[in-house]
Amino acid sequence: MIILEKKTEKGSLRFLGKEYDGLRPQKLVIAGNTIKNIAEGNNLTSYKIGKYSTKNVFMLFNGENIFYVYVNPKYRNYRNVFKKIINKIHKGFHVDHILSRNLAKHFRFNYVLLCIIPEKVNMKHGSVEKIKISLDLIVDFPQICYSDDRIFDKILSRNPLARRQFVEIRKGYNPNSKPNYGLTLKQKGIWNRAFGFDTFDKTIIPNIKRIE
């Protein structure tokens, strides 16, 4: 008998893609004004993390293995907080703000989603993230925002020019953007890994408290 189904090795990207059912790129809020805005936008429950003030950091959690950590862009201790939620941060990877801190401040968002991406990729995106569009160009300013195609690439550990020309990204990020692409199973694994689902330290669960 010929078995056509591919075997998925535990820990592989395809395994991570199958194992964790996180939010799709078009549904995942990357920054917002209030905890309530972000929680409702993601359709997840918000939690206070231990002793940390919700003015600085909070997490969304589905009660099992999907979580997202948001921080105030002015908050400096974000890496240590994130390390309390996941078991480890691999060498050569950065804990990074998905929407860069300077852009979040520019657009006056109070919270930004964190992710883990390769250091080299993070540095490549840094120069592009310095581009700021005028606030006067935004007709309807949103309470929450999503990835654009460049940020989609960033989360997938791609350099900013890996899939597109500079002319496409030189206009900068617009908070009314959404990504145009979905995920293959392998890409979903990279996407899930970027949020630390596979290294979630569940011993923290007793120390988180639902935000009413």
Mean of pLDDT values over 115-142: 91
| Residue 47, domain member (yes or no) | yes
Span 68-95, average pLDDT: 93
Our count of domains for the chain comes to 1
Q: Is residue 3 part of a domain?
A: no
* 73 assigned to some structural domain: yes
Nearest to 126 by CA among 89, 95, 101, 148: 101
Q: Which pTM was predicted?
A: 0.93
Mean pLDDT for the stretch of residues 134-146: 90
Residue found under tokens 């950590």: 69
pLDDT for residue 164? 87
159 CB-near residues (< 8 Å, 6+ apart)? 121, 124, 125, 153
Domain that holds residue 184: 13-207
169 lies in some domain: yes
d(CA 157, CA 180): 17
The residue-averaged pLDDT of 162-181 equals 90
Decide if 1 is inside a domain: no
117-130 mean pLDDT = 93
Inside any domain, residue 7: no
CA within 13 Å, CB half, 24: 10
Establish if 212 belongs to a structural domain.
no
- Which of 107, 194, 103, 121 has its CA nearest to residue 158? 121
Angle (nearest 5°) at CA 198 between 91 and 65: 145
Instruction: Identify residue 135 by its one-letter amino acid code.
Output: L
Query: Does 4 map to a domain?
Result: no
Read off the pLDDT band of 60 (50, 70, 90): very high
CA angle 87, 81, 60 (to 5 degrees): 85
